[in-house]
Amino acid sequence: MAVILVTGGMGFIGSNFIHYWKKHHPQDHVLNVDLLTYAGNKDNVASLVGQAGYEFVQGDIGDEAHLSQLMQKGVEVVVHFAAESHVDRSIHSPRDFVMTNVLGTQSLLAAARQHKVKKFVHISTDEVYGSLGDAGAFTEKTALAPNSPYSASKAGSDLIVRAYFETYGFPAVITRCSNNYGPRQFPEKLIPLIITRAIRNEPIPIYGDGLNVRDWLYVEDHCSAIERVIQAGVPGEVYNIGGHQERTNLDVVKSILKELNKSEDLIHFVPDRLGHDRRYAIDSSKIQQELGWAPSYSFEAGLQKTIQWYLKERTWCERIADGSYRDTEEVDH
Ligand code: NAD
Ligand code: TDX
């Protein structure tokens, strides 16, 4: 039995990863450490509460003493998802992003290093590479050129992780994934925002001309890539993760409206995001060739599963809409 510490396990990707890991490695003990910011939702892992091999501790990755104490539970592997993750929020409150993503990551690294963990997987993003023109894709050798406070803070965290490897020989690996979508994504991000608004026949805001391109990956495919990195990723290396599923935002919106049988009249063009990156595309040949990972879902298949999940989980959506997902007394897990 291995003890795995997951940070940010109440968020979108972290909670999907915990479900994935418990399904495929039921013997392992997962310790979920999350501060429960607005993005942390206990409903995401409610079905695991009380199960053997799952434990939640509320905590801040910036609290090195607390993290150090938690590492003493025999933690061997750290998978670090916790972050401020929304670009629009970073434009309004950049400081929060530097505090959590840069300083928080350094505190976590210090605690993990002191306890000599065997592997530290740092979950980063393709946004650290900046924006692409019409052609080409980001490789692991592409220079970092982040444009938003969010991506700059993630690039800062990548560099401090890199420094821990170079300076102390700390066994850290960095992954950089493209845009994720799937169950349990907070409806501030494009795909869940469109789905939940379209279901309620509310207007859908599209920034600028709607022709910005993102490279979409179903969250379960991201989880299987992280699994390969835990098992075989080489310390000091960076692995790009993506599924070669580029779509314009407008195409994404139209696909969702069609699937839900809703009118395109719901689309409303609104002023563009400041510093809006035009296009992302990931070259994931390194992880495919060196670690034998491949995505399983096409964008169409993943999107259909995602829409079905949001249609079925009405209570999950309503508890976010009315704010009750943050009531800790009611659902104490
Ligand atoms: P999310 O916003 O859904 O979840 C973040 C989680 O971190 C929340 O549960 C929150 O409570 C927790 N958290 C925030 N600050 C904390 C702190 N100081 N201490 C402990 N916990 C804290 O984010 P997500 O979309 O699941 O993204 C997870 C990670 O993956 C992030 O590092 C993000 O940069 C990266 N990433 C996301 C995407 C994407 O498309 N969503 C793509 C590539 C990489
Ligand atoms: O209401 C909207 N209208 C709109 O046109 C929203 C919320 C977004 N958009 C556009 C902006 C982007 O071009 O849709 C695209 C996707 O936006 P987000 O869902 O905010 O994602 P993005 O900015 O691409 O960043 C995401 O992918 C990389 C995650 O939020 C990051 O955490 C991850 O690192």
Residue 30 · residue 36 · CB < 8 Å: no
What DSSP string runs through 16-59? HHHHHHHHH-TTSEEEEEE---TT--GGGGGGGTT-TTEEEEE-
- Distance between CA atoms of residues 246 and 294, nearest Å: 16
Q: Estimate to the nearest angstrom the gap between the alpha carbon of 96 and the chain centroid.
A: 17
164 is catalytic: no
Q: Per 3-state DSSP, what percentage of the chain is helix, strand, and coil (rounded to 5)?
A: 45, 20, 35
| CATH superfamily name and code, 3-326 | NAD(P)-binding Rossmann-like Domain (3.40.50.720)
75-110 pLDDT, tens digit per residue, is: 999 999 999 999 999 999 999 999 999 999 999 999
pLDDT at 329: 53
Q: Is 127 in the pocket of ligand 2 (CB under 6 A)?
A: yes
For residue 76, the CA-to-ligand 2 centroid distance in Å is 33
Binding site membership of 105 for ligand 1 (Cβ less than 6 Å): no
- Which residue, judged by its Cα, is nearest atom 8 of ligand 2? 190
Alpha-carbon span 326 to 333, nearest angstrom? 12
- Cα–Cα distances (Å) from 199 to 93, 166, 228, 274, 312, in that order, read 30, 50, 36, 28, 12
- The answer, yes or no, to whether any atom of ligand 1 lies below 6 A from the CB of 60, is yes
Q: Is-above-0.95 flag for pTM?
A: yes
Between the CA of 14 and the centroid of ligand 1 the distance, in Å, is 7
Q: What is the ipTM of this complex?
A: 0.99
Q: What's the number of CA atoms in the CB half-sphere (13 Å) around residue 214?
A: 21
Question: What pLDDT is stored for residue 333 in this prediction?
Answer: 41
Residue 97, both tokens: 């992003």
Q: Which of 276, 247, 264 is nearest to 203 (CA)?
A: 264
- The per-residue pLDDT for range 195-233, each reduced to its tens digit, is 999 999 999 999 999 999 999 999 999 999 999 999 999
* Residues 31-40 pLDDT 10s: 999 999 999 9
Average pLDDT over residues 150-173: 98
39 lines ligand 2 (CB under 6 A): no
**Could you give the C-alpha distances from 140 to 149, 174, 221, 302, in angstroms and in order?**
21, 10, 19, 26
Which pLDDT value is given to residue 331?
43
Expressed in angstroms and rounded, the spacing between residue 227 Cα and the centre of ligand 1 is: 18
* Residue 328 pLDDT level (bands cut at 50, 70, 90): low
Q: Which amino acid belongs to residue 308?
A: Q
Task: Mark 152-172 as b/e (b = at least 16 C-beta within 10 Å).
Answer: bbbbbbbebbeebbeeeebbb
pLDDT in tens, 262-287: 999 999 999 999 999 999 999 999 99
Average pLDDT over residues 317-322: 95
> How many A from CA of 163 to the centre of ligand 1?
22
Residue 148 pLDDT exceeds 80 = yes
| Cα–Cα distance, 128 to 197 (Å, whole number) | 29
12-55 per-position pLDDT tens digit: 999 999 999 999 999 999 999 999 999 999 999 999 999 999 99
| Bridge partners of residue 175, in order along the sequence | 123, 239
208 Cβ closer than 6 Å to some ligand 2 atom: no
* Partner residues linked to 269 by β-bridges: 206
| 150 belongs to the catalytic site | yes
CA distance 146 to 150: 8
